[in-house]
Chain A
């Protein structure tokens, strides 16, 4: 299984026996490990974002973002100033032009791109994402940061629901199938595994067609009824109703291949000698499953969970678009439609950060569950 190839630095079983250490030393090691990991990821994010800037600048878009911002700001200040408003139009225009030129000089827009790109990188890394050209947040703000922050909770809600549902149903079924190896259900899952080659949004279209279009049971899309119900309970119910189809779409597209993958892992691990021994000793199958099968496969399962998460970060863009779910992905879709470059660059930055956080969490959880992971040896050695 290639999924396992993502696995982080596992050591040979020889070092599995850890020498007794003091708690402080362990903590120190953990802290160092974390710091190194964080630094590596930060470097990766910076490089990723710099690449983004390079791509976005192909049409001189970054410059355009800044110039339009300056223009807007100065026109605003000039038109707000009661003294300057008295000036004739041409003189005022001239003044705006002069001030803009000065401001561009001050911000270094007359300097070479290389220099400026690094300055831009610094600002985006600190999440100073600038102002949107056309889009506004629902609260009326033009700041890209506010627009993104407003769209983050729906995405997180959708992601958490669909990913957890997928993860636990998969785990449950995979365990069931590994116990009933060769049964009809097992064969069915193997036969259906190729259906996962289609992405979730694709199944989403069918679900909309059947459940919203033909049967009319569930809404076509959106997150909540319009107008939203006043009370809490109907509000939650409406939300749940809107969640069903997108979560189902995600579930269908991920279910079979993940069940197949996990079941294969379980089967491989339950063929190990120590499991045979445990069986010979007469341990109950429940104990065997928990202690000898689930535990060693835990890193693999976590990898798969993280891969699900990573693919959902990206898959959510389209599934939100198809279901009109007002999250980050949907925002990105509208930004593409309007060529709103600050928002597009901004969401790229956010995605890079989210991916990095996911990878970091993965590493961290790994260190917690797998004693073979070498903590504090100065970075990765995969």
Chain B
């Protein structure tokens, strides 16, 4: 306990290490929060979800924090639904069977920019004859534009840009609907959106007695959530949050697995000496020329891409790592220490000497190595993801980078790639800074220079 306290006191001497510790603590809090609020299965469901999960969010929308760097805020998504009462629906029977349904979607639009898309999702209930709907758009200045009409099947989707067709485009001076329907002046050089209250009116006719239909208007914004969205409309926050526990546990497990096994083998080799030692040496030399990454790539291609399978292979390939030689040199010195001799004299067994006498002495060397190893493995996961060998189901930072790399870099959606990259960088730096300080604390010779 007192050593722990002393170590901590030493660490406080290094401001960078303190910063690193704070960052690590922050990430641990985020990881715990994530795992407790979004369970594992839920994270997978969300990340693999398609239109059914993410239908209401825009594609590649900027995260909200980018608004801090803009003069005017980007439009956010507006959702109005007759089913939940955010839009009005009045039903008036016309004849025995025919019914008139009037829906009004009124919303305030305070943005200077334009929305990304306009879509109406219909759900209808009928036996044979589907309802019919006429759509009208009312601008804040009172101007009314006919959008089009549609037959409402059971699950119908009306996309303004597609289903409005050329006729709507002509009415809007050739502009796309999401721009034309919001533009203050459609002939202006530089288009700006008219701020104020807009209304979408749907005049529907139901042809059956028990027929009914509801509609949901989604005005897709250009900013969405604190993480933004990707090309598949998924909220990147899910991946950014879930990437934290995955990165931390992967890095820690891999670093722990490799350093501890390497150390035990080095200790055993030194203790038993002779042929065991010789064998371990030779295996280490062979291991040194094994192409580590290509073998992992093969495992990913032929066996499994699950990061837990990868983890096993990483540990397996690193057991006989080059650091065995460093540990061995230290163990060789310790082996000659009088207390080992004493232990042998009282009849301690091999296992006892290795685990209770040799290994504890090397922990000061082990800990910096362990902490320094974590960033390498955190980045290794991302590297595998960039090679297309990311975990098939889990959302990880590396996978977001890989998905973003192909589009975001070329199309300017920089948030998409910068957010996971920044998190990776922070994690790596935090562990590296702490490891760096630990290295100096435990190896006083480095402290002099």
Most B Cβ at <10 Å: residue of A197, A264, A382: A197
Are the CB atoms of A55 and B302 closer together than 8 Å? yes
B355-388, CB under 8 A of A: which get 1 and which 0? 0000000000000010010011001001100111
Q: Which residues of A contact B414 (CB under 8 A)?
A: 209, 213
Q: What's the nearest-Cβ distance from chain A to residue B14, in Å?
A: 11
Are the CB atoms of B291 and A352 closer together than 8 Å? yes
Complex Cα gap A199–B293 (Å):
13
Complex Cα gap A308–B295 (Å):
20
Q: Could you say which of B16, B300, B379, B410 contacts A198, with CB atoms under 8 Å apart? A: B379
Are the CB atoms of A194 and B432 closer together than 8 Å? yes
Are the CB atoms of A336 and B409 closer together than 8 Å? no
Complex Cα gap A380–B301 (Å):
36
Are the CB atoms of B298 and A345 closer together than 8 Å? yes
Complex Cα gap A56–B299 (Å):
8
Interface segment among A38-46, A69-77, A156-164, A277-285: the answer is: A38-46
Are the CB atoms of B412 and A213 closer together than 8 Å? yes
Given A2-B323, A5-B326, A198-B428, are A209 and B417 neighbors across the interface (CB < 8 Å)?
Answer: yes
Complex Cα gap A137–B337 (Å):
61
Complex Cα gap A195–B424 (Å):
11
Are the CB atoms of A321 and B286 closer together than 8 Å? no
A268 contacts partner chain B, Cβ-Cβ < 8 Å: yes
Size class of B's contact patch?
A: 35 or more
List the B residue with the shortest CB-CB distance to A345: B298
Q: Which residues of B contact A202 (CB under 8 A)?
A: 379, 382, 421, 424-425
Are the CB atoms of B292 and A314 closer together than 8 Å? yes
B303 contacts partner chain A, Cβ-Cβ < 8 Å: yes
A205-222, CB under 8 A of B: which get 1 and which 0? 110110011000000100
The B292-321 residues at the A interface (CB cut-off 8 A) are: 292-295, 297-303
List the A residue with the shortest CB-CB distance to B417: A205
Are the CB atoms of A48 and B449 closer together than 8 Å? no
Q: What's the nearest-Cβ distance from chain B to residue A5, in Å?
A: 4
Are the CB atoms of A317 and B369 closer together than 8 Å? no
Provide the main secondary structure of the chain B interface: helix
Are the CB atoms of A201 and B303 closer together than 8 Å? no
Are the CB atoms of A48 and B286 closer together than 8 Å? yes
List the A residue with the shortest CB-CB distance to B443: A1
Are the CB atoms of A355 and B289 closer together than 8 Å? yes
Are the CB atoms of A5 and B322 closer together than 8 Å? yes
Most A Cβ at <10 Å: residue of B289, B325, B429: B289
List the B residue with the shortest CB-CB distance to A264: B449
Q: Could you say which of A197, A199, A220 contacts B431, with CB atoms under 8 Å apart? A: A197
Are the CB atoms of B303 and A59 closer together than 8 Å? yes
The B267-302 residues at the A interface (CB cut-off 8 A) are: 281, 285-286, 288-295, 297-302
B29 contacts partner chain A, Cβ-Cβ < 8 Å: no
Q: What's the nearest-Cβ distance from chain A to residue B133, in Å?
A: 44
List the A residue with the shortest CB-CB distance to B389: A336
Complex Cα gap A52–B326 (Å):
27
Are the CB atoms of B387 and A191 closer together than 8 Å? no
B389-420, CB under 8 A of A: which get 1 and which 0? 10000000000010001000110101001100
Are the CB atoms of B429 and A332 closer together than 8 Å? no
Q: What's the nearest-Cβ distance from chain B to residue A162, in Å?
A: 17
Are the CB atoms of B302 and A336 closer together than 8 Å? no
Are the CB atoms of A205 and B405 closer together than 8 Å? yes
Are the CB atoms of B409 and A341 closer together than 8 Å? no
Complex Cα gap A76–B295 (Å):
33
Q: Which residues of A contact B290 (CB under 8 A)?
A: 48, 51, 352, 355
Q: Which residues of A contact B418 (CB under 8 A)?
A: 209
Size class of A's contact patch?
A: 35 or more
Are the CB atoms of A317 and B294 closer together than 8 Å? yes
Are the CB atoms of A267 and B449 closer together than 8 Å? yes
Are the CB atoms of A58 and B302 closer together than 8 Å? yes
Given A2-B323, A201-B386, are A351 and B417 neighbors across the interface (CB < 8 Å)?
Answer: no
Q: Which residues of B contact A356 (CB under 8 A)?
A: 289
Q: What's the nearest-Cβ distance from chain B to residue A178, in Å?
A: 9
Most A Cβ at <10 Å: residue of B16, B285, B372: B285
A6 contacts partner chain B, Cβ-Cβ < 8 Å: yes
Complex Cα gap A47–B389 (Å):
25
B246 contacts partner chain A, Cβ-Cβ < 8 Å: no
Q: Could you say which of A55, A196, A198 contacts B299, with CB atoms under 8 Å apart? A: A55
B342 contacts partner chain A, Cβ-Cβ < 8 Å: no
A170 contacts partner chain B, Cβ-Cβ < 8 Å: no
Complex Cα gap A209–B386 (Å):
16
List the A residue with the shortest CB-CB distance to B404: A205
A271-302, CB under 8 A of B: which get 1 and which 0? 00000000000000000000000000000000
B446 contacts partner chain A, Cβ-Cβ < 8 Å: yes
Are the CB atoms of A197 and B375 closer together than 8 Å? yes
A344 contacts partner chain B, Cβ-Cβ < 8 Å: yes
Given A51-B290, A220-B410, A337-B388, are A344 and B301 neighbors across the interface (CB < 8 Å)?
Answer: yes
Q: Which residues of A contact B294 (CB under 8 A)?
A: 314, 317, 332, 344, 347-348, 351
Given A194-B429, A209-B414, A341-B302, are A322 and B386 neighbors across the interface (CB < 8 Å)?
Answer: yes
B436 contacts partner chain A, Cβ-Cβ < 8 Å: yes
Given A44-B286, A197-B379, A202-B424, are A313 and B386 neighbors across the interface (CB < 8 Å)?
Answer: no
Complex Cα gap A198–B422 (Å):
11
Q: Which residues of B contact A264 (CB under 8 A)?
A: 446, 449
Given A55-B298, A352-B291, are A333 and B405 neighbors across the interface (CB < 8 Å)?
Answer: no
A364 contacts partner chain B, Cβ-Cβ < 8 Å: no
Q: Which residues of A contact B288 (CB under 8 A)?
A: 6, 44, 355, 359
List the B residue with the shortest CB-CB distance to A382: B325
Q: What's the nearest-Cβ distance from chain A to residue B121, in Å?
A: 35
Are the CB atoms of A58 and B303 closer together than 8 Å? yes
Complex Cα gap A333–B389 (Å):
10
A143 contacts partner chain B, Cβ-Cβ < 8 Å: no
Q: What's the nearest-Cβ distance from chain B to residue A12, in Å?
A: 13
B433 contacts partner chain A, Cβ-Cβ < 8 Å: yes
B53 contacts partner chain A, Cβ-Cβ < 8 Å: no
A78 contacts partner chain B, Cβ-Cβ < 8 Å: no
Given A55-B303, A198-B425, A336-B300, are A213 and B436 neighbors across the interface (CB < 8 Å)?
Answer: no
Q: Could you say which of A181, A321, A344, A380 contacts B298, with CB atoms under 8 Å apart? A: A344
Are the CB atoms of A339 and B301 closer together than 8 Å? yes
Q: Could you say which of A6, A59, A61, A352 contacts B289, with CB atoms under 8 Å apart? A: A352
The A326-364 residues at the B interface (CB cut-off 8 A) are: 332-333, 336-337, 339, 341, 344-345, 347-348, 351-352, 355-356, 359
B329 contacts partner chain A, Cβ-Cβ < 8 Å: yes
Given A55-B298, A345-B298, A348-B298, are A205 and B401 neighbors across the interface (CB < 8 Å)?
Answer: yes
Are the CB atoms of A6 and B379 closer together than 8 Å? no
Given A209-B414, A318-B386, are A380 and B291 neighbors across the interface (CB < 8 Å)?
Answer: no
With A6-B322, A197-B429 given, name 12 new contacts (CB 8 A): A2-B323, A2-B369, A48-B291, A193-B432, A194-B428, A197-B431, A197-B432, A198-B428, A209-B417, A213-B410, A220-B409, A344-B294
30 A-B pairs whose Cβ atoms sit less than 8 Å apart in the complex: A2-B326, A44-B288, A51-B295, A55-B299, A58-B303, A193-B436, A194-B16, A199-B383, A201-B383, A202-B379, A202-B382, A202-B425, A205-B401, A205-B405, A206-B421, A212-B409, A268-B449, A317-B294, A322-B405, A336-B300, A336-B387, A336-B388, A341-B302, A344-B298, A348-B291, A348-B294, A348-B298, A355-B289, A355-B290, A356-B289
